[in-house]
Amino acid sequence: MIFGTDGVRGIVDKDINCKLAYNVGRAFAIYLNKKKLNNYVVVGKDTRTSGDAISFSIISGLVDYGINVFYLDIVATPVISFLVSKLNVGGGVMITASHNNYKYNGIKLFSNIGEKLNKTSENEIENIIINSKIKPSKQKGKVLFNKNLTNIYLDNLINVCKCDLSNLNIVIDSANGSNYILAPQIYKHLGANVIEVDCNNDGTKINKNCGANHIENVKKQVLEHKADFGISFDGDGDRLRVILNDGSELDGDDLLYVFAMLLKNKNKLNSLTVVGTVMTNLGLEKTLLKNNIQLLRTDVGDKNVISLMKQNHLSLGGEPSGHICLYEHNCTCDALFNSLYLIKGIVDKSINIKELLLSLKKFNSVTKNVEVSYDFRKNFNNNILLQNQIKNLQHSNEDVRIVVRPSGTEPVIRIYVEGKSEIKINKIIENILNFIN
């Protein structure tokens, strides 16, 4: 199986290499030609040291089979999605392993409307990789180096989120990833005094003790500099975490609530409904209901969230990890846009964020990640004994919510337990760890 929960992902030279990348590019080209889609594709990458080798290999596969490539070099994943949706191109490719460390890399494929390819399309491309013997095209594609295309994305950011940030001190952590130039640039353009943290083109340090999964240093910098906000992205710029001036940490559930109320106040929250996942805190669901807002749940993964949003014509969805999609503005999760949209709402006094968050009463929850073998992760859902043990534990503890699932990107089992009693939560996690070990 080549495609996982979010495109192709794995350890470089073990799970993903230049040969596989070439074959993905080749298969994507054959797929585009078969669907009679435009023979131009937008390609970008994050800062990983393996990014050049992987991106040039996939580009070779594309141009060998007649596809022209707009190569943008280092950009965030949402930039690829946005540009594909605005340009008359056949699709997009992003070389990234998102929040994973530099040893990993991956390939995300986008449709001609800027959405991540659905499972049906991925299966079709996977079948081409395995079975197709189509020869390369006689008419080769061209590689066009056009970084000016990024200005289309920037202009949209400024037009939608324009506000005066001249009185604000903002700490920005780009996880040594895709937003290392763009995020400080746009905040400075709007007048903010920017304190940069881990905003370097250092592919060996991408996501290393920084970014949306490691916000300790941003919080420290906010308090030391008496900053108004701390903004933290992950390596490819689709996850967002926010620190307020008192050190309060906002995860994806907090942000989803704030955005829901912001859009509701603007009469832009379609059907008064938002999309979350099985990991979304039950306290958030109950708080939304008090505000006449319904929460729909889906499986983990921003692709699943956006798919359910699209099916129901909804405007907002997200995950606790910090993936938030404002569908009116981009059909993927855009952390930079979301951060600006949020701060604009605060500056323009559309919301009082601290007062608003007082009404959000989340349940206690603990997340535990357990490293396992690849085989254990692969066979997790077929492990009947383990599945029955977890089900029995849930049945005997009806006042808690238990989610145990294999990671789609790493050899890890993720345990999430939520309830009112921290003591009970920790005991349940101990039981599950004993089951796994």
What is d(CA 41, CA 112) in angstroms, rounded to the nearest whole number? Answer: 9
- Domain edges within the chain: 8-150, 162-246, 251-358, 364-436
Query: Which CATH class, in words, describes the domain spanning 251-358?
Result: alpha beta
Is CATH 3.40.120.10 the right assignment for the domain spanning 8-150? yes
pLDDT at position 437, please?
A: 79
* Cβ-contact 319, 302 below 8 angstroms: yes
* Cβ-contact 41, 32 below 8 angstroms: yes
Fold observed for domain 364-436: TATA-Binding Protein (3.30.310)
pLDDT at position 147, please?
A: 76
* Cβ-contact 78, 337 below 8 angstroms: yes
In this chain, the answer to whether the domains covering 251-358 and 364-436 adopt an identical fold is: no
- CATH ID of 162-246, from 3.20.20.220, 3.10.25.10, 3.40.309.10, 3.40.120.10: 3.40.120.10
pLDDT at position 5, please?
A: 80
Q: What is the pTM of this model?
A: 0.93
Residue in 408, 328, 405, 332 with CA at minimum distance from that of residue 117: 332
What is d(CA 164, CA 190) in angstroms, rounded to the nearest whole number? Answer: 6
Per-run averaged pLDDT (10 residues), the chain, 437 residues: 88 95 98 97 98 98 98 97 96 97 96 95 96 92 91 95 95 98 96 97 96 96 98 98 97 98 96 97 96 96 94 97 96 97 93 94 91 87 90 90 86 91 91 88
Cross-strand partners of 276 = 297
Considering the chain, what percentage of its residues have pLDDT values greater than 90?
87
First to last CA, the chain: 26
Class of residue 256 by CB neighbours under 10 A (exposed 0-12, middle 13-18, buried 19+): buried
* Cβ-contact 38, 128 below 8 angstroms: no
pLDDT in tens, 220-265: 999 999 999 999 999 999 999 999 999 999 999 999 999 999 999 9
Please give the C-alpha separations between residue 88 and each of 70, 81, 95, 111, 125, in angstroms, as whole numbers: 12, 12, 21, 11, 21
Please give the positions annotated as active site: 98
